[in-house]
């Protein structure tokens, strides 16, 4: 959510930002907010005038009563009763207007960073940099499910019977590898100075609307029937929610945290759920990182955060690239975002394995996350950022393909071996 002062003072800038996101249907929202804001301030001013008049009359009543002029005092009391009724109606109107303004403001996109490339959708995202040399071996790399099945490591059929499409059982070495990757990612981020956390896996609706747009909420979140609770789609949701309504001491900033959680997503939309495979699914696990910081530091942290993900993947011998998200692919609360994509030797192309975003003060305004400097009365909104460390099973797909050998075995890079009981290579249980 942006500052309403910006809409008052520079509505054209806000409209141009909307146009760059190819959301022209939202242009009318700016004019509507300006109209409602004007009315709201007039109503607020009227309320102030009514309260001032009531206070003056109350003083007169006290004076008249002391002078024994009860009859005159009673007449003024009736005026006060009338003002109170008018004030009550005015306050209801003021509250109604504030809610209408807030609802519309939450639909207006955050102001993008000036460096964001302009494009309609993800097909126009811009490659920034490649890390590591993509390799296409002379031998064929099987589909990731086939690799897992060769280790008796996945059971999709049973999962469909139990929960439907979009779920899976991981078993044996593959399940252990999945957990090892998460444990390695956890320790990697702890060694970067981040505080480890395990958050709630359900959050209330006011946190959901604080961390994401209504469109994202509808496409992603599972609601718990009969309760004001949603299953999280990423631990960022509950981790940022942790700071809801708080005034943070500037001396304690930044808050840098890495969190583990299962994640649950509807995955509504064009991509849909895979019948076979675990790239797009309803349930997965993830190691996330979030930062809450001073506004002037947020882009410094943005660059640090995506670079950590790149470093982690390279430590596992996986080539990656960074892809700048264009304006049309940028979620409404994000000011700037970069995807990290891993190399797939099977497909001979890169695929998304994580995303780093700077939301500036959009989430903080919705959730009321403020900063206060020592010795100062005034507060201001914090900046929030989030980034995927790893998200198996996508990470698992990239790992298996890039460490797959011609004989069907999978190499375990040295950094991961302590998490695999010293195992240097996985050997398939089912021969090709």
Residues ≥6 apart with Cβ < 8 Å to 198: 259, 260, 261
Share of the chain above pLDDT 90, in %: 86
Confidence at 364, pLDDT banded by 50, 70, 90: very high
Assigned domain for 28 exists = yes
Q: Are residues 227 and 131 in the same domain?
A: yes
pLDDT for 273 beyond 80: no
Residues, the chain: 432
CATH, residue 371: 3.30.930.10
Domain annotation covers residue 188: yes
Residue 64: the pLDDT is: 86
Per-residue pLDDT at 1: 83
Copy the structure tokens of residue 412. 């375990």
In a domain, 43, yes or no: yes
User: How high is the pLDDT of residue 324?
Assistant: 97
Regarding pTM above 0.75, the answer is yes
Domain that holds residue 206: 122-426
Cα–Cα distance measured from residue 104 to residue 79, given in angstroms and rounded to the nearest whole number: 37
**In this structure, are 202 and 339 located in the same domain?**
yes
Domain end marker among 77, 105, 133: 105
Q: Which residue has the tokens 């011998």?
A: 317
Contact call for residues 80 and 57 (beta carbons, < 8 A): yes
Same domain for 161 and 96: no
pLDDT of residue 74: 85
CATH code of the domain covering residue 63: 1.10.287.40
Confidence of residue 271 (pLDDT cuts 50, 70, 90): low
Q: Does residue 274 share a domain with residue 173? A: yes
Q: How far is CA 169 from the centre of its chain?
A: 28
Of the ranges 116-120, 338-342, 381-385, 391-395, which one carries the lowest mean pLDDT score?
391-395
Radius of gyration of the chain, Cα coordinates, nearest whole angstrom: 28
pLDDT in tens, 182-224: 999 999 999 999 999 999 999 999 999 999 887 788 888 999 9
Same domain, 305 and 357: yes
Q: Give 75-141 as a DSSP string.
A: HHHHHHHHHHHHHHHHHHHHHHHHHHHHHHHTTSPPPPPTTPPP-SSGGG-EEEEEES-----SSPP
The domain boundary residue, chosen from 47, 71, 105: 105
Residues 173 and 234 in one domain: yes
269 phi, psi to nearest 5 deg: 125, -165
- Among 38-47, 49-58, 77-86, 272-281, whose mean pLDDT is lowest? 272-281
Instruction: Say if residue 137 is in the same domain as residue 247.
Output: yes
Contact 347, 324 (CB under 8 A): no
What mean pLDDT value characterizes the chain? 94
Name the domain count of the chain.
2
344 in the same domain as 210: yes
Does residue 155 surpass a pLDDT of 80?
yes
| Cα distance between residue 240 and residue 422, in whole Å | 36
Looking at the domain assignment, is residue 388 inside a domain? yes
Residue 72 confidence class, pLDDT cut points 50, 70, 90: confident
Tens digit of pLDDT for each residue in 124-142?
999 999 999 999 999 999 9
382 in a domain, yes or no? yes
Summarised one tens digit per residue, pLDDT across range 36-66 is: 999 999 999 999 999 999 999 988 888 888 8
**Triad 49, 53, 56: Cα angle to 5°:** 140
Q: Is the peptide bond before 393 cis (omega within 30 degrees of 0)?
A: yes
Q: Comparing 8-22, 275-289, 358-372, which segment has the lowest mean pLDDT? A: 275-289
Positive or negative, the CA dihedral 84, 90, 93, 99 is negative
DSSP 8-state class, residue 143: P
In a domain, 300, yes or no: yes
Residue 117 domain-assigned (yes or no): no
67 plus 200 within the same structural domain: no
Least confident stretch, 194-208, 231-245, 259-273: 259-273
Q: Given 75, 105, 135, which residue is the final one in a domain?
A: 105
CA distances from 287 to 26, 179, 184, 428 (A): 35, 11, 10, 27
Same domain, 152 and 48: no
Q: Which two tokens stand for residue 371?
A: 């900063």
Least confident of 6-10, 72-76, 98-102, 231-235: 72-76
Q: By C-alpha distance, which of 322, 353, 356, 313 is closest to 336?
A: 356
Q: Is the pLDDT of residue 270 over 60?
A: no
Asked if the model's pLDDT at residue 28 lies above 70, the reply is yes
100, 165: one domain: no
Residue spans of beta strands (DSSP E) within 294-331: 320-324
Do residue 144 and residue 90 come from a single domain? no
Residue 111, in any domain of the structure: no
**Percentage of the chain surpassing pLDDT 70?**
98
How confident is the model at residue 280, as a pLDDT? 86
């Amino acid at each position: 959510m942006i500052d309403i002062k910006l809409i008052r003072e520079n509505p054209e800038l806000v409209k141009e930002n909307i146009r760059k996101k190819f959301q022209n249907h939202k242009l009318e929202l700016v004019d509507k907010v300006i109209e409602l804001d004007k009315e709201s301030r007039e109503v607020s001013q009227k309320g102030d005038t009514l309260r001032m008049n009531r206070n003056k009359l109350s003083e007169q009543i006290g004076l008249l009563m002391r002078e024994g002029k009860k009859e005159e005092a009673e007449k003024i009391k009736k005026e006060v009763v009338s003002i109170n009724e008018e004030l009550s109606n005015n306050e209801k109107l003021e509250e109604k207007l504030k809610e209408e303004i807030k609802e519309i403001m939450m639909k207006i996109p955050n102001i993008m960073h000036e460096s964001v490339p302009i494009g309609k959708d993800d097909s126009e995202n811009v490659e920034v940099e490649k890390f590591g040399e993509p390799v296409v071996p002379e031998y064929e790399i099987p589909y990731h499910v086939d690799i897992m099945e060769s280790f008796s490591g996945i059971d999709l059929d049973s999962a469909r019977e139990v929960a439907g499409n979009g779920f899976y059982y991981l078993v044996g070495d593959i399940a252990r590898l999945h957990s090892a990757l998460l444990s390695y990612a956890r320790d990697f981020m702890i060694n970067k100075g981040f505080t480890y956390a395990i958050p709630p896996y359900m959050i209330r609706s006011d946190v959901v609307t604080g961390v994401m747009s209504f469109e994202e909420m509808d496409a992603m979140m599972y609601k718990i029937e009969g309760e004001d609770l949603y299953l999280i789609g990423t631990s960022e949701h509950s981790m940022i929610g942790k700071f809801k309504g708080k005034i943070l001491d500037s001396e304690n900033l930044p808050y840098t945290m890495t969190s583990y959680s299962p994640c649950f997503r509807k995955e509504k939309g064009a991509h849909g759920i895979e019948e076979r495979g675990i790239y797009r699914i309803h349930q997965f696990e993830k190691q996330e990182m979030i930062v809450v910081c001073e506004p002037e530091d947020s882009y410094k942290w943005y660059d640090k955060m995506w670079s950590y993900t790149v470093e982690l993947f390279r430590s596992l011998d996986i080539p990656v690239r960074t892809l700048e998200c264009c304006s049309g692919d940028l979620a409404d609360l994000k000011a700037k975002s970069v995807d990290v994509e891993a190399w797939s030797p099977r497909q001979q192309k890169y695929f998304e394995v994580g995303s780093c975003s700077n939301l500036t003060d959009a989430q903080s305004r919705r959730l009321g996350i403020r900063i206060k400097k020592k010795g100062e009365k005034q507060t201001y909104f914090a900046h929030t950022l989030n980034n995927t460390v790893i998200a198996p099973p996508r990470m698992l797909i990239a790992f298996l393909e890039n460490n797959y050998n011609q004989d069907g075995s999978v190499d375990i890079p040295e950094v991961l071996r302590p998490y695999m009981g010293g195992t240097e290579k996985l050997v398939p249980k089912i021969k090709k």
